[in-house]
Chain A
């Protein structure tokens, strides 16, 4: 299926990637080629087949719900592009 410019704009918005209006058509062409490629799967009969989410043949382990680590906010936030006092900072979201 060919993706139109409106669909690309919707995807880009969901993915939080800025795409300018003059880039939309190039992306539509590009992504459509890949979607067309993967649509080969339409030929496959999957009636009664369970979807596979992972390959492990063992159950996911559970652990005790307890704090086992932490107490070093300065290290955790050490890579933040902007931060203060062991916190991350972002542009103002509440007026």
Chain B
């Protein structure tokens, strides 16, 4: 039997069903990996006792012939943006350091009801704001990958779901939850050499997920295979009356067409994604991806998404605007940190000055500015109009193609400490992922190959709204063609 921490969701289920090992043994192996790789700082709160209790319950269900879902007994990491009943939920922020939710988010409740085993709460950028997992109050996460050319500098895992991505890549968890507002699942998946999938906006309930930008936030799976992503999303998705933006649609069988191939499908390659200064190896992995799909029988066509270059500036108006509104709730009164002041206003100001980190303050202030009297039309309404144009671009493109192929990120994982001084430079990490977010479209990052330095590079597929089935179908073909077997040395 292979190492228990090398299993996928699918192979773990098969092994559990066959009685090759118990859920408790599976949990114990991952708890040991969590302890061994503590220096990666992938978790803010570890819950090994909870994991063992979950595993025992899974074993009891299986013995009674009552397996709850395909995830029953599978150890996962939960991004610390999901509120978990009785387990501290910090959002990576000092301001929520003492917060223990008395309720469970819908997505984590579904995963719990599905029998998954929670190893702990995964580290993330503070309030999911960041692309390198360096803004967490609980310290940065280290990517288990290092360059293969003797450059031993520690790499960032990407962000904001950096703890989730690093835990899956380092074989600490079989899978993890992520959330994606502008690329926070897909970009770290690319940096860590795993699969990260953002469903259509509305596919998963946002209820109980600490809000960042409510018109963009969406939960999704982070796994080591496309098949696992489809299996995990099956458990996470579904209409929820507690989230008014949750889509009132039936959940399809996401695995339905995994083995159908791509013959006859049309794949669009948007010419506007060929940005100035794009590294040659990003262009070449992208070209390689298109060639693979063509070789498998898909028709690859060039398309135009004319407003692509405006997606990122649009995002940096809309997301901060929504964040400034959502984060107004952290006032030192109802939960979280309180820093005293001479009066109520000073108490608010002191609490928020001490409780929020620099990036969060930056976005709250930008958001406050673009929503303030005299600037609202010029910035916020303007951005909402450009957002309509971005959506329109995709709508017309999808009249011609079934899915769109792009690179996931403009680089491989960079070293800890790089790009830290210039916020706009950091924002450019999400240049390829943000447009799909603005349009609410499903998208997935699949490992495409290694950079010259030996670091993973992701390929990004964007699908039609609520057509995750086709997205998984194309992603599976890409994964099969790429045959990505590389793993971080020592993990």
The docked-state distance in angstroms from the alpha carbon of A43 to that of B314 is 12
A-B contact count (CB 8 A): 166
Residues on A with beta carbons closer than 8 Å to the beta carbon of B423: 30, 33-34
A16/B348 in contact, CB under 8 A: yes
Interface residue ranges, A against B (CB under 8 Å):
3, 7-8, 10-12, 14-19, 27, 30-31, 33-35, 37-41, 43-44, 46, 49-58, 60-61, 63, 75-82, 88, 90-93
Contact A11 B372 (CB under 8 A): yes
Closest Cβ of chain A to B101, distance in Å, is: 8
Inter-subunit contact A35/B353 (CB<8 Å): no
Bound-state CA distance A93–B342 (Å) is 10
Interface contact A31-B365, CB-CB below 8 Å: yes
Partner of A44, one of B336, B386, B440: B386
Question: Is B454 on the interface with A (CB-CB < 8 A)?
Answer: no
CB distance from B103 to the nearest CB of A (A): 9
CB distance from B359 to the nearest CB of A (A): 10
Per the bound structure, the CA–CA distance linking A16 and B348 in Å amounts to 6
Please give the distance in Å from A61's CB to the nearest CB on chain B. 6
The residue that A80 contacts in the complex, of B328, B333, B391, with Cβ under 8 A, is B333
Assembled-state Cα–Cα distance A43/B307 (Å):
11
Among the 9-residue stretches B149-157, B244-252, B404-412, B443-451, the one with 4 or more Cβ atoms under 8 Å from chain A is B244-252
Q: Do B369 and A31 have beta carbons less than 8 Å apart?
A: yes
Give the CA-CA distance A75 to B349 in the complex, in Å.
Answer: 26
Within residues 77 to 124 of chain B, which ones have a CB less than 8 A from any CB in chain A? 98-102
Q: Is B388 a contact of A51 with CB atoms below 8 Å?
A: yes
A53-B215, A55-B202 given; A46·B382 CB < 8 A: yes
| Nearest Cβ on chain B to A23's Cβ, whole angstroms | 10
Which 8 A-B pairs rank lowest in CB-CB distance, beginning with the nearest?
Answer: A55-B440, A51-B384, A79-B335, A81-B338, A18-B353, A46-B385, A18-B349, A52-B388
> Is B310 an interface residue when CB atoms closer than 8 A count as contact?
yes
| B439 at the A interface (CB under 8 A) | yes
Task: Let me know if A44 and B388 touch, CB within 8 A.
Answer: no
Instruction: Decide yes or no whether B344 CB sits under 8 A from chain A.
Output: yes
Shortest distance from the beta carbon of B465 to any chain A beta carbon, whole Å? 7
Contact of B215 among A49, A55, A92 (CB under 8 A): A55
